[in-house]
């Protein structure tokens, strides 16, 4: 049995057009399938939501939301992925989509700053364009699994929306017993 610890934070959001942002996140293992249970969450939470940060337009939003997860695994398949949805909140508490994103958690031990590029679907009709422009009501995915699955994502028409910054450390234990070695990249 091998183990992976992920410790760090969802640090901030950058380059979003909206001024008040929150991030809903989850860690997906086993490619989200219940029939493949190779990964077990031993400690921590595999999903959550940051607070809303209200900042001036053009400034990064600061979440500093802590991450502390501990997994055990029997295989490398289904390696953990960070999945996020960034939402903008108006003065009435209404949320509208600011962007979707995902990245793989690094498989080598170390400390990382990961920049997760986000995107959102392009409006496809004139009514969707008007709704997005005046109300901020951008189209949303019916199935959020498309964010990290690679099945039919190529069919989506999207545009970039901003970047979520993760600062994490990855600690592994027991992989050497299963023949997995990490090479050092020292020069």
What is the domain class of 2-119+160-178 according to CATH? mainly beta
128's enclosing H/E stretch is helix 126-135
Q: What is the pLDDT of residue 142?
A: 64
Q: What is the pLDDT of residue 49?
A: 97
Q: What is the pLDDT of residue 17?
A: 87
Question: Distance between CA 181 and CA 186 in Å, rounded?
Answer: 15
Q: What is the pLDDT of residue 187?
A: 42
Q: What is the pLDDT of residue 86?
A: 96
Question: Distance between CA 90 and CA 137 in Å, rounded?
Answer: 12
pLDDT tens digits for the chain (187 residues)? 899 999 999 999 999 988 899 999 999 997 766 667 889 999 999 999 999 999 887 789 999 999 999 999 988 888 999 999 999 988 888 888 899 999 999 999 999 999 999 988 876 666 766 666 666 666 666 666 666 566 655 666 778 899 999 999 999 998 887 677 666 554 4
Pairing of strands 95-104, 47-49: unpaired
List of residues 6+ apart from 109 with CB closer than 8 A: 170, 171, 172, 182
């Amino acid at each position: 049995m091998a183990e992976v610890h992920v410790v760090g934070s969802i640090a901030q959001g950058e380059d979003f057009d909206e001024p008040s942002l929150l991030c809903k996140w989850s860690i997906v293992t086993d490619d989200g399938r219940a029939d493949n249970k190779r990964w077990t969450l031993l400690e921590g939470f595999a999903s959550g939501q940051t607070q809303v940060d209200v900042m001036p337009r053009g400034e990064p939003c600061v979440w500093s939301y802590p991450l502390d997860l501990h997994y055990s695994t029997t295989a490398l398949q289904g390696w953990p992925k960070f999945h996020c949805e960034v939402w903008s909140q108006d003065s009435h508490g209404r949320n509208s989509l600011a962007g979707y994103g995902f990245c793989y958690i690094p498989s080598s031990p170390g400390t990382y700053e990961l920049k997760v590029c986000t995107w959102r679907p392009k409006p496809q009709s004139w009514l969707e364009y008007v709704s997005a422009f005046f109300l901020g009501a951008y189209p949303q995915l019916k199935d959020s699994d498309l964010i990290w699955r690679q099945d039919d994502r190529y069919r989506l028409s999207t545009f970039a929306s901003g970047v979520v910054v993760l600062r994490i450390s990855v600690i592994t234990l027991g992989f050497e017993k299963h023949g997995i070695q990490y090479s050092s990249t020292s020069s």
